[in-house]
Chain A
Amino acid sequence: MTLLAVERIKLFTTRSPWWCAAVALAIVIGFAALITGTAPSDFPVTVRTSQFGYSFGLAVIMVLAALSITTEYRFGTIKSTFLAVPNRPAVLLAKTGVVALVALVIGELAAFGALGVSTLLAPSSADIALNSAADWRQVAGVGVVYALTAAMGVAVGAMVRHSAGAISLLLIYGMVVESLVPLIPRVGEDIHKWLSFNVAEKFLSGGAAGGVADGPPLSTSTLSPGWALAYFAGVAAVLLAVAIVITRRRDA
């Protein structure tokens, strides 16, 4: 508990988490307002389309999470940290816990905020009530995916140690590489089914009806939403474990 409090103090006594939180909320909720306000009458807003800004918020979460650890290396505070708490795995786990919790809160605020804005702006005929488990997962699941993504961000940040390197790696992978993989002849589609953010999308929108016009493209993962979440969490856990092993062995 002490370590969680320490990491909480460290996170919130710098500016970047506040900026990241504000930007994430503004983007996700702003996109919902934009989409709802401009939706043509033959394509009414749904729960799913209200969450259109999700992937942009995800990018901001990656930045927040990576910075939480890379700035410690950048400014040498990681040494102060390890002098105060020589148990490095405990430090990384505590940091991951705090950052993931913050990401969870941002995700829930953003997702329900987006839904709320859509409800306000949409004509009363639109179907954006949360009336199925799938609808709930689509909205409430955003925070969960953000939290696990934050864990990946901390892990990658701890491995790479440089802000620019870690952030580029995360963003290029999450935003570009995954969507380019299907272009690889023959095996591309099969590989893509198992890539982490594609699988996370399956957890969020797995049961949702509708086609491409109904929002971002649906996931090609063959897992059930529950297993998709477990798989995504597993990827985060493996990355974190590798980061912990590397951090323990390395000179601070």
Chain B
Amino acid sequence: MTRDCQSMAAGPHHKHHRPDKGDFMIEAKGLTKRYGDTLAVNDLSFQVRPGTVTGFLGPNGAGKSTTMRMILGLDKPTRGTATVKGKHYHELKQPLRTVGALLEARWVHPNRSARSHLTWLAKANGIPKRRVDEVLDIVGLTSVANKRAGGYSLGMSQRLGIAGALLGDPEILMFDEPVNGLDPEGILWMRKFMHRLADEGRTVFVSSHLLSEMSLTANELVVIGKGELVAQRSTADFVARATEQAVRVRSPQLALLKDVIAGEGGTVRDEDDGIVVSGMDSESVGELAAKHSIVLHELSPQLGSLEQAFMSLTGDAVEYATQ
């Protein structure tokens, strides 16, 4: 079975999905969902711009899936609205042609074949039957298309779900934790696949609890914790800010150095036999030391990991954090 992504275009009639930059593909305004006493999503507002891969990032239980279900009209918001291309999901005619979604791979009857599953979906949205074979080919399920879906592995179910999402050749795609539970090969396939979708000019909204994964696939991030918005900005910006540089310094003249750095606006904390400076890069610290003739024994930039950064940002927003 080929694992390469072939073209996802629907043939010669394929249109280029490059709408005006001004319109938002997905927009949440004050979205709120309450289950009994639990506030799963709280006053959440964000926008997904066309042609971007927007990562929807948050720890498990942050309300990502609930938000996606509300965007897709499956769950009713307690307050607020979620719109797709300015419309509520239920106002879309033949919605699979606008939005393709994969929220859970196992939403298939186990006794139904992949082909039958896609056939009824296609029928429901006036999609020609040959498109079923096309998407089966795209995800590499052609050889098992007539076997019952109950016998598929998780990876295969995931591909069937993606085939369903691509069926209507939609300009917007939504995936909820698409790499969860996949083997490394599957994860790689999925990453390539997202890039492919983005290259075709589609808008992709994909959730994950892994910042490292998102930094590889997304160019925009919507970060939530405990159902509330933490940040919305470009991935590069988010990573840069989140992994803000610190410099580790050792010196026999630590006391003097601390004073000098404080005078230049850097912040200092003691660590082991040295100090860690933040708010200044290593060049500035080195030059500052030279100017004041301070001897340095160590001057090393410290890069925080993405996961640490993510933790520090969503730290107080993590619901089930270990104490």
Contact = CB atoms under 8 A, between A and B. Distances in A.
27 contacts: A2-B123, A5-B123, A9-B119, A9-B120, A13-B111, A13-B113, A13-B116, A13-B117, A14-B112, A15-B111, A75-B106, A76-B104, A76-B108, A79-B103, A80-B108, A80-B117, A80-B121, A82-B73, A83-B72, A83-B74, A83-B101, A84-B124, A84-B125, A86-B73, A87-B90, A251-B75, A252-B74
Nearest to B167: A84
Given A9-B119, A80-B164, A83-B96, A2 B124 contact: yes
A14 B149 CA distance: 11
A251 B74 CA distance: 6
Contacts of B113: 13
A85 interface: yes
A86 B111 contact: no
Interface in A184-233: none
Nearest to A75: B109
A9 B123 contact: yes
Given A82-B73, A87-B90, A249-B76, 15 more contacts: A6-B124, A9-B123, A71-B109, A75-B106, A75-B109, A77-B107, A77-B109, A79-B104, A80-B108, A80-B117, A80-B121, A84-B121, A84-B125, A86-B90, A86-B95
Contacts of B103: 79
Nearest to A251: B75
A14 B108 CA distance: 11
Contacts, number: 79
Task: Assign chain A's interface to a size class.
Answer: 20 to 34
A84 B73 contact: no
Nearest to A86: B90
A115 to B, nearest CB: 34
B89 interface: yes
B126 interface: yes
B69 interface: yes
Determine the interface band of chain B, counting residues with CB < 8 A from chain A: 20 to 34
Nearest to A16: B111
A6 B127 CA distance: 12
B212 to A, nearest CB: 29
Interface string A63-92: 000000001100111011111111100000
B110 interface: yes
A133 B256 CA distance: 112
A179 to B, nearest CB: 35
A82 B109 contact: no
Nearest to A76: B107
Contacts of B95: 83-84, 86
B126 to A, nearest CB: 7
Nearest to B149: A75
B92 interface: yes
Nearest to A74: B109
Nearest to A88: B90
Contacts of B74: 79, 82-83, 251-252
A76 B96 CA distance: 17
A29 B124 CA distance: 37
Interface in A1-18: 2-3, 5-6, 9-10, 13-15
A15 to B, nearest CB: 5
Nearest to B72: A83
A10 B107 CA distance: 13
B70 to A, nearest CB: 9
Contacts of B123: 2, 5-6, 9
A91 to B, nearest CB: 9
Interface in A234-252: 249, 251-252
Contacts of A13: 109, 111-113, 116-117, 119-120
Contacts of B90: 86-87
A51 to B, nearest CB: 33
Contact of A6 (B75, B101, B120, B164): B120
Interface in B66-81: 69, 72-76
A140 to B, nearest CB: 32
Contacts of B121: 80, 84
A18 to B, nearest CB: 11
A86 B92 contact: yes
B206 to A, nearest CB: 17
A41 B164 CA distance: 63
Contacts of A5: 123
Nearest to B75: A251
Nearest to B110: A75
Contacts of B89: 86
A251 B77 CA distance: 9
B124 A85 contact: yes
Contacts of A80: 107-108, 117, 121, 164
B109 A14 contact: yes
B6 to A, nearest CB: 24
B96 to A, nearest CB: 6
The winner among B72, B101, B119, B121 for most chain A CB atoms within 10 A is B121
Interface string B47-84: 00000000000000000000001001111100000000
Contacts of A249: 76
A9 B125 CA distance: 14
A77 B117 CA distance: 9
B144 to A, nearest CB: 16
